[in-house]
Structure formats: structure tokens, C-alpha cells
């Protein structure tokens, strides 16, 4: 996504004097919110073009060429020590941040547009983030948090386009408090955001990078619930880093996958416990140790020997390893069949000798068994 910047001369709407400012034009079709506080991924490139300062009267606004409402009050405000201090505060190193804070003061005290004042204070924090000025960024976020608290407490809806609605303001405030390390307040706001969006129709859990013509309001509700879920996870880890909406979508998919189980089955489906699996393995080992050739079934028949119907060995299911037919036909033994018994060898025949006159009955036949 690219922008073209240019230096232009404009006439201040408050004092009428000319000033040179830098403006940016998007040449790719608009910005997309990406971070959890709704900061666009391209903000760093153009943040300095979103606020301007008149070089004569020090009026700060996104468009200083436009004459503000209640112009006299604005003129009075920019001459006050409070305004001058903000504009020259050396504790805030970024010129852009100081200009946003001055614009925030005008919106808060003169225009009475608290949502816009909160947004300007938050942008001041973004400018400090870009300069890696952590202490000033914290000061700006504290100011933004106080203004967003007013928005939520009073239920103030934004005036005009380009500002988040009340739920988005709450989601933004959650991220501000988490970035400040105030996790308890962030979690309390997660509860509030979930209650505000509960029971209302939800869009597909699939994340969209850009809003299309489908029900945008319903989609936004789904995004708010997703953000609350992800912020709870980050707060539980004590995480104060910056994350994106894509990170929140990826985390939601991981949670849904974990709920379905590793094979896509519901997590609450009946699965054998570890103890049950071990008992089943022990039973299998016992069955393997038992020799079927030694046990006997009904009627005293060996479990693995003898023949049943159609010449099949007892204990062998039909169609597996047995053949019907003549008993004299040799069978094909499978791996489970008992090995053939070694035939007993008879003594080699000897030449006939005349029987002794008084033979003992026990030795009359060498093959006779007692």
C-alpha cells in the first residue's frame, strides 16, 4: 500500500495567514485497520500528514485551512499557558505528538467532541511509539484512556465519519489499558464488551481483511467478541506488546480447533481415559500370553485343536484359514494354528527271535503301553 506526499501551501482558517504543510494521497485504495487499537499498518508512513500546525498562530488541526466552529473560543484557547505548554513540552520529543495533543485539547474544551479528542491523544501515543519514546507514549495513552472513559461512561456516539463506535471505543480502551499494564481494568472492560455484544447475531468466524457489502454491523460484532477473547489471553500472560487483528483471528481459530479436538471431533465426546487405556493394554497382553493350545473349551475340547463343521479347526471362524472337504486332505495352517506334533518314532524292527519259553507279560510287546 503506497502513498504520495507533497508540500502544499494553505491559508489558515483561523488567522488567514499562509502556511506550508505536507499532505498525503493514497494511491492504492484506502487504509485498513490492523492493530488492536485500530492503528493502520500504514500509519507510520503518513502520521505526520494527518495533523498540521499554522506557522503563525499555532492552530493545530488535521485541516487548518478550515475555519473551526466557535473560532473565537479557539483563538482564546491557543493563547492560554496550557496550550502553549503542550506545544513546547520538551518531555514529549515528537513534534507530531505535541500537535496531536494540542488538537485534542481544542476538541475536548471547545468543540466538546470527546471521541475525537480521545482519538487525537491516542495518535500522539502512536507518534511516540514511532520514535521509541516509551515514557511520553505512556503519558499520551493515559490521556487517551481518560477521554475514552468519558466516552464509555456517557455512551457518547462519535460525530461524523472516521471514528469508532461505542463498542470499538471500548475495544480500543481495552488495548490501551493492556499496553499500560493495567490488566485488571482491561479485563473488566472485556466483561463489559462481551455483555454489550452478547445475544446479538454473529458473523462468520472467518476473518475479513476488508469490509465488503455483507452485513458490516454484524461482522463488527464478531470482531469485537474476537478482540475480547484475545485480550483476555494477553492479559492472562501479562503481555503489553502490540498485536494485530490478524493475530486475534489466528488465536480464535486455534481455540476453535482445540474445542473440536485433534481429529475434528467435539472435545466433549467420550474418549477413554489414560487409566482405561492402560487397563485395555494389560488385557491385550494377558490374551497374548494365554496359549490357546493349552486351554479347553466346552466339552473338554481343545480351543485350538480338533475339527469342527466342514473339516474346519475348532475356534477358527468360517472363511478364515480353514477348508471344507475330506479329512484326509492336508490343511494349510495359518500363523495361529498349533505346530504339528512330532510323530513318535517306533523302534527299528529287529529280527524275529523265538519266544522264550516263559515270557513275562510286560515284555511280550514292546509297543504296548501300561
Helix, strand, or coil (residue 341): coil
Q: What is the pLDDT of residue 197?
A: 87
N- to C-terminal Cα separation, the chain: 104
Please compute the mean of the pLDDT values over residues 258-272 and round it to a whole number.
62
Task: Evaluate whether residue 122 is within a structural domain.
Answer: no
Contact 170, 225 (CB under 8 A): no
Beta strand extents in the chain (DSSP E only): 3-11, 18-26, 52-53, 60-61
Is the model's pLDDT at 95 over the cut of 60?
A: yes
Q: What are phi and psi of 77, to 5 degrees?
A: -65, -40
Length of the chain: 370
* Element containing residue 46 per DSSP (H, E): helix 43-46
Residues 337, 305: Cα–Cα separation, whole Å: 8
Task: Evaluate whether residue 205 is within a structural domain.
Answer: yes
Is the model's pLDDT at 178 over the cut of 70?
A: yes
Between 24 and 137, the more confident residue is: 137
Least confident of 40-49, 101-110, 120-129: 40-49
Is the model's pLDDT at 367 over the cut of 80?
A: no
Q: What is the pLDDT of residue 38?
A: 87
Q: What is the pLDDT of residue 365?
A: 41
Contact 284, 298 (CB under 8 A): no
SS3 per residue for 208-239: CCCCCCCCHHHHHHHHHHHHHHHHHHHHHCCC
Task: Evaluate whether residue 346 is within a structural domain.
Answer: no
Contact 138, 129 (CB under 8 A): no
**If pLDDT is split at 50, 70 and 90, which confidence band does 34 have?**
confident
Q: What is the pLDDT of residue 318?
A: 35
Task: Evaluate whether residue 186 is within a structural domain.
Answer: yes
Contact 102, 83 (CB under 8 A): yes
Least confident of 28-32, 53-57, 174-178: 28-32
Count of domains forming the chain: 1
Between 52 and 200, the more confident residue is: 52
Q: What is the pLDDT of residue 24?
A: 87
Q: What is the pLDDT of residue 48?
A: 93
List the domain range (segments joined by +) for residue 232: 165-265
Please compute the mean of the pLDDT values over residues 71-85 and round it to a whole number.
97
Q: What is the pLDDT of residue 273?
A: 56
Is the model's pLDDT at 16 over the cut of 80?
A: yes
Q: What is the pLDDT of residue 260?
A: 85
Is the model's pLDDT at 36 over the cut of 80?
A: yes
Residues 213, 269: Cα–Cα separation, whole Å: 38
Instruction: Measure the CA angle with vertex 123, ends 121 and 251; round to 5°.
Output: 115
Q: What is the pLDDT of residue 295?
A: 42
Least confident of 133-147, 171-185, 232-246, 342-356: 342-356
pTM of the model: 0.67
Is the model's pLDDT at 21 over the cut of 70?
A: yes
Is the model's pLDDT at 49 over the cut of 60?
A: yes
Q: What is the pLDDT of residue 285?
A: 52
Q: 210-218: list long-range contacts, CB under 8 Å, 24+ apart.
A: 210/32
Is the model's pLDDT at 360 over the cut of 90?
A: no
Q: What are phi and psi of 11, to 5 degrees?
A: -100, 125
Task: Evaluate whether residue 237 is within a structural domain.
Answer: yes
Task: Evaluate whether residue 236 is within a structural domain.
Answer: yes
Between 334 and 140, the more confident residue is: 140
Task: Evaluate whether residue 60 is within a structural domain.
Answer: no
How confident is the model over 303-324, as pLDDT tens digits?
344 433 333 343 434 333 333 4
CA atoms in the 13 A half-sphere facing the CB of 305: 13
Contact 32, 210 (CB under 8 A): yes
Task: Evaluate whether residue 91 is within a structural domain.
Answer: no
Between 139 and 213, the more confident residue is: 139
Amino acid at each position: 500500500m503506497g502513498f504520495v506526499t507533497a508540500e502544499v501551501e494553505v491559508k489558515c482558517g483561523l488567522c488567514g495567514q499562509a502556511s506550508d504543510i505536507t499532505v498525503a494521497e493514497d494511491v492504492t485504495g484506502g487504509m485498513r485497520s490492523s492493530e488492536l487499537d485500530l492503528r493502520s499498518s500504514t500509519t507510520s508512513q503518513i502520521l505526520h500528514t494527518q495533523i498540521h500546525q499554522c506557522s503563525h498562530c499555532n492552530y493545530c488541526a488535521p485541516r487548518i485551512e478550515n475555519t473551526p466552529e466557535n473560532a473565537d473560543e479557539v483563538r482564546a484557547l491557543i493563547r492560554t499557558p496550557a496550550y502553549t505548554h503542550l506545544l513546547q513540552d520538551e518531555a514529549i520529543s515528537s513534534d507530531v505528538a505535541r500537535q496531536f495533543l494540542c488538537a485534542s485539547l481544542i476538541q475536548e474544551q471547545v468543540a466538546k467532541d470527546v471521541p475525537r479528542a480521545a482519538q487525537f491523544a491516542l495518535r500522539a501515543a502512536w507518534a511516540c511509539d514511532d520514535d521509541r519514546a516509551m515514557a511520553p507514549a505512556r503519558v499520551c495513552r493515559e490521556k487517551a484512556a481518560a477521554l475514552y472513559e468519558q466516552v464509555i461512561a456517557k455512551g457518547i456516539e462519535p460525530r461524523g465519519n472516521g471514528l469508532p463506535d461505542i463498542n470499538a471505543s471500548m475495544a480500543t480502551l481495552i488495548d490501551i489499558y493492556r499496553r499500560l499494564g493495567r490488566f485488571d481494568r482491561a479485563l473488566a472492560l472485556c466483561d463489559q464488551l462481551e455483555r454489550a455484544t452478547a445475544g446479538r447475531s454473529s458473523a462468520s468466524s472467518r476473518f475479513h481483511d476488508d469490509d465488503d457489502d455483507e452485513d458490516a454491523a454484524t461482522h463488527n460484532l464478531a470482531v469485537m467478541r474476537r478482540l475480547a477473547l484475545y485480550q483476555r489471553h494477553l492479559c492472562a500472560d501479562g503481555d503489553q506488546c502490540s498485536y494485530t487483528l490478524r493475530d486475534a483471528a489466528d488465536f480464535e481459530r486455534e481455540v476453535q480447533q482445540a474445542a473440536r479436538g485433534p481429529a475434528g471431533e467435539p472435545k466433549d465426546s467420550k474418549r477413554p481415559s489414560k487409566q482405561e487405556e492402560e487397563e485395555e493394554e494389560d488385557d491385550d497382553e494377558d490374551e497374548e500370553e494365554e496359549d490357546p493350545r493349552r486351554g479347553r473349551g466346552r466339552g473338554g475340547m481343545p480351543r485350538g485343536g480338533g475339527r469342527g463343521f466342514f473339516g474346519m479347526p475348532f475356534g477358527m471362524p468360517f472363511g478364515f484359514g480353514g477348508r471344507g472337504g475330506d479329512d484326509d486332505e492336508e490343511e494349510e495352517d495359518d500363523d495361529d494354528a498349533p505346530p504339528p506334533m512330532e510323530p513318535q518314532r517306533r523302534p527299528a524292527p529287529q529280527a524275529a527271535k523265538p519266544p522264550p519259553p516263559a515270557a513275562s507279560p510286560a515284555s511280550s510287546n514292546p509297543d504296548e503301553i501300561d
